[in-house]
Amino acid sequence: MTQMCTDAGRSSNSEGPTLLSGWISRPALALELGVCEETLRRWADARRGPPYIRAGRKILYRRSAVLDWLEEQEGLGQRRGRRGARR
């Protein structure tokens, strides 16, 4: 029986959790966040974005870590304010 794999490592013949079910690829995360992949690359280079791992050439983000990172961003946005903003 042949299994077709999708981007995040899930098989089309899913009979339960797969090895990568708690992970999301960079293209899929970019789509969910509404940003381009290049933005995620820049965030990673600046150490501003969600934590990730490299599996060969593939970049994967743990879904729970992305949710934690998003919650951190919510708190940072309230503390930053608009100091030094241009008018």
The pLDDT value recorded for residue 33 is 96
* Residue-level pLDDT at 75: 84
> How much is the pLDDT for 10?
47
Per-position pLDDT tens, the chain of length 87: 444 444 444 445 556 778 889 999 999 999 999 999 999 999 999 999 999 999 999 999 999 999 999 999 988 877 666 555 555
Rounded Cα distance between 36 and 85, Å, is 25
Contacts of 69 (CB under 8 A, 6+ apart): 49, 50, 51
Q: 23-25 and 53-55 as β-strands: parallel, antiparallel, unpaired?
A: unpaired
Coil/strand/helix, residue 85:
coil
